[in-house]
Chains A and B, each alone.
Chain A
Amino acid sequence: MLELEQVCLQRAGKRLLWQVSLQAVPGELCVILGPNGAGKSTLLQVMSGYLRPDSGRVRLGGQDTAGLSPARLASLRAVVEQQAATPSGWRVQELVAAGAYLAAPAQQAAAMARALALTDTSRLAQRRLDSLSGGEAQRAHLARALCQLLASTQPERYLLLDEATAALDFAIADSQMAQWRQLAQDLHIGVVAVLHDLNLALRHADRVLLLQDGCSIAFGRTADIMQQARLEAIYGIRLAELISPDAGIRAFVPHTPR
């Protein structure tokens, strides 16, 4: 289990996170939602061990991240950053290989091939990063992160995604979300994603954490958490809930005068 317990973080006198708790389990897609500046990305950085909380604990598979070396952390979790770099001249293959830099040589090739296959990027392997579209680059970085997890021998592994759908059109974003969930189930890894799109979360997330001003408002099963009144309070606007009964699809749209 990826477990946050009463995590608090301050920077320059400003409270960024206040007593946030969360549990993500392997096989599930957990989504962190909240308005801009709520502390979603900061929370993800705390989970990844990049930021150390002032108080509270972060445990990955039962181990407190405070005592883990970067290499050890890397065998437990991989991260797709919000604005992942695309160094000029690199090929997709080289990027994905970077995921397994610290793994045992025996695992590297297999992990790379599998990561490329799972993310449907095998045919991009020889392409240059700077020639890729936004969606393709996103998949390449996902492959890099998966390669890191696949090369690890740890029993419990987590994939952290920071606004990884921000640059994607809604069709690609939707298929990406479906793919993350599928990967979570197939590989039995825990996926935690920071998102902006309520409806993507509603459609694909197993669990949702609602964050506002660094405080956890609610955490639990998607259907229980994503209630109209609660979302209206957090985002400060009126919402309308649209339901398509035959397809079984719910969606929220702003309900404000144009």
Chain B
Amino acid sequence: MIRLSLLCQCLLAALLLTCLGSLLHGSGLIGPMLHGNQPLPALQLQLLLQLRLPRLLVAICSGMLLSSAGAAIQARFRNPLAEPGLLGIYSGAALAAALALSLGGGILPVSLAGFAGSLLTLWLIRLLASPNGQGSRLILSGVAIAALLGSLLTLLITTLPDGALRSITFWLMGSFASAEWPQAWLLLLATPLVWLGLFRHWRLLNALQLGEATAFHLGFDLQRGAWLVVCLASIAAGVVVSSCGMIGFVGLLAPHLTRLLTGSDARRLLLAAPLLGAWLTVSADWLARSLLAPAELPVGVITSLLGAPFFLWLLRREQESPRA
């Protein structure tokens, strides 16, 4: 096992380099910067500050949010398949956003509606959850809710006009293209809050790996603590999905990858996973933007396209060396 501080430094360095690359690649600023004595072209600088920088910040924050939420939710439910959208949060957000779109909303109202939809879903799941805080019932309710909301979404989509259909499809596949400063500020605010909230519960998350009964015996309040963790992770998912759509696989992949490097201790995991997750989303966004330039791919397609095979490889590897 690599030392944690070394690992975090490496991840941070990789993240910073990728950010720099993503920010400057094709910006038309590298040439003037290298020549030094010329003033930087104002238009390009403006584009960098108004479009590329908020987009980069949104990518970083969503990666961090999704991966720390994924790590927490996997630990909470002792389920390696769990991810932040497990409880139907994505479907709820998508349904509300599609509803707002069909009513003719712009980017910001759609985002807000998405977030409200995720919160509503969370509240609905809370109503259905078992009173003594058992995780299995929570998961099953979530899966049922996700199916229900998903079918409602399909129903709604069939009635949408062509223009709205295109934007909702793009949104469903996830993209940082429409990210602007308002979203960036929202995510910059949410990321540290959610992360701190989750990190404060690293002991509970570790205890839950021993089973729910053991966590209770060790003195943890499952009704309150465990529910708070689920809430924070779902809010993270809601914030991300409402500002940039469904970015698949990051919330699942980043914690798994990190676990290979840090082991399953929640404290180490929550420190390293956000860095890795942010690196993944920033890289994916860079690829999405430049692979078919000037056309742009939805970033969710990239993360799933690369993430799914990689995840399968990871599974095979874990099977071959079960005690790695």
What is the interface of chain A, defined by CB distance below 8 A to chain B? 45, 48, 50, 69-75, 77-79, 81, 84-85, 87-90, 94-95, 98-99, 101-102, 128, 130-131, 148
Given the interface pairs A98-B210, A131-B323, the reply to whether A74 lies near B217 with Cβ below 8 Å is yes
B90 to chain A, nearest CB (A): 28
Interface flags, B294-324, vs A, CB<8A=1, else 0: 0000000000000000000000000000010
User: Which residues on A sit within 8 Å (CB–CB) of B203?
Assistant: 98, 101-102
**Contact indicator B207/A98 (Cβ below 8 Å):** yes
The residue on A at minimum CB distance from B1 is A89
User: Which residues on B sit within 8 Å (CB–CB) of A69?
Assistant: 221
User: Which residues on B sit within 8 Å (CB–CB) of A79?
Assistant: 213-214, 217
Q: Which of B206, B213, B222 contacts A98 (CB 8 A)?
A: B206
Question: Which residues of B128-170 have CB atoms within 8 Å of chain A's CB atoms?
Answer: none
**Contact indicator B207/A101 (Cβ below 8 Å):** yes
Docked complex Cα distance between A95 and B211 (Å): 13
Docked complex Cα distance between A73 and B264 (Å): 27
Docked complex Cα distance between A88 and B216 (Å): 20
11 A-B contacts, Cβ less than 8 Å apart?
Answer: A45-B213, A48-B217, A50-B213, A70-B219, A71-B220, A72-B219, A87-B210, A89-B264, A94-B206, A102-B218, A102-B220
**Contact indicator A85/B211 (Cβ below 8 Å):** yes
**Contact indicator A148/B218 (Cβ below 8 Å):** yes
Docked complex Cα distance between A196 and B259 (Å): 39
**Contact indicator B221/A70 (Cβ below 8 Å):** yes
The residue on B at minimum CB distance from A73 is B219
**Contact indicator B221/A84 (Cβ below 8 Å):** no
Interface flags, B248-267, vs A, CB<8A=1, else 0: 00000000000100011100
User: Which residues on B sit within 8 Å (CB–CB) of A98?
Assistant: 203, 206-207, 210, 218
B315 to chain A, nearest CB (A): 14
The residue on A at minimum CB distance from B219 is A74
The residue on B at minimum CB distance from A90 is B264
What is the interface of chain B, defined by CB distance below 8 A to chain A? 203, 206-207, 209-211, 213-214, 216-222, 259, 263-265, 323
**Contact indicator B264/A102 (Cβ below 8 Å):** no
A56 to chain B, nearest CB (A): 19
Q: Which of A75, A84, A87, A95 contacts B219 (CB 8 A)?
A: A75
User: Which residues on B sit within 8 Å (CB–CB) of A128?
Assistant: 323
User: Which residues on B sit within 8 Å (CB–CB) of A87?
Assistant: 209-210, 264
Docked complex Cα distance between A131 and B264 (Å): 16
Docked complex Cα distance between A98 and B219 (Å): 10
**Contact indicator A84/B214 (Cβ below 8 Å):** yes
Docked complex Cα distance between A44 and B265 (Å): 29
User: Which residues on A sit within 8 Å (CB–CB) of B264?
Assistant: 87-90
**Contact indicator A81/B214 (Cβ below 8 Å):** yes
User: Which residues on B sit within 8 Å (CB–CB) of A71?
Assistant: 219-221
User: Which residues on B sit within 8 Å (CB–CB) of A95?
Assistant: 210
Q: Which of A50, A74, A84, A131 contacts B210 (CB 8 A)?
A: A84
Docked complex Cα distance between A99 and B207 (Å): 9
Docked complex Cα distance between A152 and B213 (Å): 20
User: Which residues on A sit within 8 Å (CB–CB) of B213?
Assistant: 45, 50, 79, 81
A130 to chain B, nearest CB (A): 6
B293 to chain A, nearest CB (A): 42
Known contacts A48-B217, A79-B214, A99-B218, then 5 further A-B pairs from the complex at CB < 8 Å, ordered by chain A residue: A70-B220, A71-B220, A74-B218, A101-B203, A128-B323
**Contact indicator B323/A70 (Cβ below 8 Å):** no
Given the interface pairs A89-B264, A94-B265, the reply to whether A101 lies near B206 with Cβ below 8 Å is yes
User: Which residues on B sit within 8 Å (CB–CB) of A70?
Assistant: 216, 219-222
The residue on A at minimum CB distance from B265 is A94
User: Which residues on B sit within 8 Å (CB–CB) of A72?
Assistant: 219
B276 to chain A, nearest CB (A): 17
